[in-house]
């Protein structure tokens, strides 16, 4: 029995086989156990020596199993280490990463530019009251200029803000009549416009508001010129055209010289040499008054930039819908490396 067991143990290929041998030779139903049972019919002398022999055989088998177990375990560990060996010289697999949306990039660039001029970034709600979106912006109910901004109403007094200008009122009221104020507010805006190549029912604006003593139209022009040159290039010029917004007086529309033809006139600027980029003006004294500021003491300027418009000009995009189609082939073109 001993020899047969030792031979088989040495040939065991793996731990499972070895365990089966342990059960077979040392288990209750094994040959040694059977032989021990036969001992009770033996003469005492014979029983003693038989007992010694079989105990010795049992110990030897157990020891052989233990030794073999260690060997097999070590072999298995070595095989595993080999299998899981990592080749550190292999180049890493490239993981696909996302990138910032071009509108987000334009927004962040504008934020950085104005933060550098001492502005802070304000925020306001996208679901707004009629009071803030219109009344405090000098657009009382029934005012014809309300038609300039077709509105998504939630109920009679609640709406999706049609511009970022109501943030002016929030900031002014919070300041409780004390300047200076110097904020920008980028954010989403909503209008019931029919979607086409240059209009979307949801778009983004960036409001700017400066209120202090002795603020002039010259400050407004200088600020917007700085913005235009930084955003589109040093060679670009701006011009102010008289316009109308109920919340500014005087109001202007600001054009930038066409980057495509350098101002000579081409298809992109419809032959005029200029492209409109934003609305602006001196804060209407009535708005200051409604928002708790004394217009004899304080003046201000404000502007509202369409972010899609800026992104389209900057990146040469001719269809605003491209921004909202989530087409990675389009979006990946703007991924900033590093």
Instruction: Give the residues lining the site for ligand FA5 (CB under 6 A).
Output: 149, 163, 165, 191, 193, 199-200, 203, 205, 245, 248, 278-281, 302-304, 306, 308-309
Residue least distant from ligand FA5 (Cβ) = 306
Q: How far apart are CA 33 and CA 75, in angstroms?
A: 32
Contact between 200 and 322 under an 8 Å Cβ cutoff? The reply is no
Q: How far apart are CA 194 and CA 5, in angstroms?
A: 90
**C-alpha dist (Å) from residue 323 to 78, 99, 269, 277, 310:** 56, 14, 21, 18, 12
Nearer to ligand FA5, 179 or 304 (CB): 304
Q: To the nearest whole angstrom, how small is the minimum distance from the Cβ of residue 85 to ligand FA5?
A: 58
Q: To the nearest whole angstrom, how small is the minimum distance from the Cβ of residue 83 to ligand FA5?
A: 59
Q: To the nearest whole angstrom, how small is the minimum distance from the Cβ of residue 112 to ligand FA5?
A: 20
Question: Nearest Cα to 241, choosing from 276, 208, 266, 265?
Answer: 276
Q: To the nearest whole angstrom, how small is the minimum distance from the Cβ of residue 195 to ligand FA5?
A: 8
Both tokens of 104, joined, read 């987000």
Nearer to ligand FA5, 182 or 309 (CB): 309
Q: Nearest 5°: phi and psi at 259?
A: -80, -15
Buried b (16+ CB within 10 A) or exposed e, 55-87: eebbeebeebbeebbeebeeeeeeeeeeeeeee
Q: To the nearest whole angstrom, how small is the minimum distance from the Cβ of residue 183 to ligand FA5?
A: 12
Nearer to ligand FA5, 17 or 249 (CB): 249
Nearer to ligand FA5, 60 or 212 (CB): 212
Q: To the nearest whole angstrom, how small is the minimum distance from the Cβ of residue 263 to ligand FA5?
A: 20
Nearer to ligand FA5, 30 or 281 (CB): 281
Rounded to a whole number of angstroms, the distance between the first and last alpha carbons of the chain is: 73
Q: To the nearest whole angstrom, how small is the minimum distance from the Cβ of residue 315 to ligand FA5?
A: 15
Q: Is 152 helix (H, G, I), strand (E, B) or coil?
A: coil
Nearer to ligand FA5, 301 or 334 (CB): 301
Nearer to ligand FA5, 65 or 310 (CB): 310
Contact between 169 and 291 under an 8 Å Cβ cutoff? The reply is yes
Buried b (16+ CB within 10 A) or exposed e, 116-139: eeebeebebeeebbbebbbbbbbb
DSSP 8-state code for residue 215: -
Q: To the nearest whole angstrom, how small is the minimum distance from the Cβ of residue 225 to ligand FA5?
A: 17
Q: To the nearest whole angstrom, how small is the minimum distance from the Cβ of residue 218 to ligand FA5?
A: 17
Contact between 301 and 283 under an 8 Å Cβ cutoff? The reply is yes
Nearer to ligand FA5, 193 or 237 (CB): 193
Q: Is 170 helix (H, G, I), strand (E, B) or coil?
A: helix
- DSSP symbols for 257-304: E-TTTTTS--TTTTTSSEEEEEEEEEEPHHHHHHTT--TTT-EEEEEE
């Amino acid at each position: 029995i001993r020899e047969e067991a030792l031979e088989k143990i040495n040939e065991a290929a793996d731990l499972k086989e070895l365990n089966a041998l342990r059960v077979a030779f040392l288990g209750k139903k094994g040959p040694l156990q059977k032989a021990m049972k036969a001992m009770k019919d033996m003469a005492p002398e014979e029983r003693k020596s038989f007992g010694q022999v079989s105990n010795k055989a049992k110990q030897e088998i157990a020891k052989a199993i233990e030794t073999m177990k260690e060997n097999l375990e070590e072999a298995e560990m070595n095989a595993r280490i080999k299998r899981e060996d990592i080749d550190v010289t292999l180049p890493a697999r490239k993981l696909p990463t996302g990138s910032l949306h071009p509108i987000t990039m334009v927004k962040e660039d504008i934020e950085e530019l104005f933060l550098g001029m001492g502005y802070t970034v304000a925020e306001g709600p996208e679901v707004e009251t009629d009071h803030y979106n219109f009344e405090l912006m000098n657009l009382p109910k029934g005012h014809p200029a309300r038609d300039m901004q077709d509105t998504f109403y939630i109920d009679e007094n609640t709406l999706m803000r049609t511009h970022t200008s109501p943030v002016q009122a929030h900031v002014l009221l919070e300041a409780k009549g004390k300047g200076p104020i110097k904020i920008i507010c980028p954010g989403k805006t909503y209008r019931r416009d029919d979607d086409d190549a240059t209009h979307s029912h949801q778009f983004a604006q960036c409001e700017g508001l400066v209120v202090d003593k002795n603020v002039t139209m010259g400050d407004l022009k200088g600020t917007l010129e700085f913005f235009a040159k930084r955003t589109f290039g040093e060679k670009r010029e701006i011009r102010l055209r008289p316009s109308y917004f109920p919340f500014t007086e005087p109001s202007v529309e600001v054009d930038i010289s066409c980057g495509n033809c350098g101002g000579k006139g081409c298809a992109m600027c419809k032959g005029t040499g200029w492209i409109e980029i934003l609305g602006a003006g001196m804060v209407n004294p009535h708005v200051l008054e409604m928002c708790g500021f004394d217009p004899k003491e304080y003046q201000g300027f404000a502007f509202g930039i369409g972010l899609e418009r800026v992104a389209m000009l900057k990146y040469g995009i001719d269809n605003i819908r491209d921004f909202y189609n989530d087409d990675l082939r389009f979006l990946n073109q703007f991924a900033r490396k590093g």
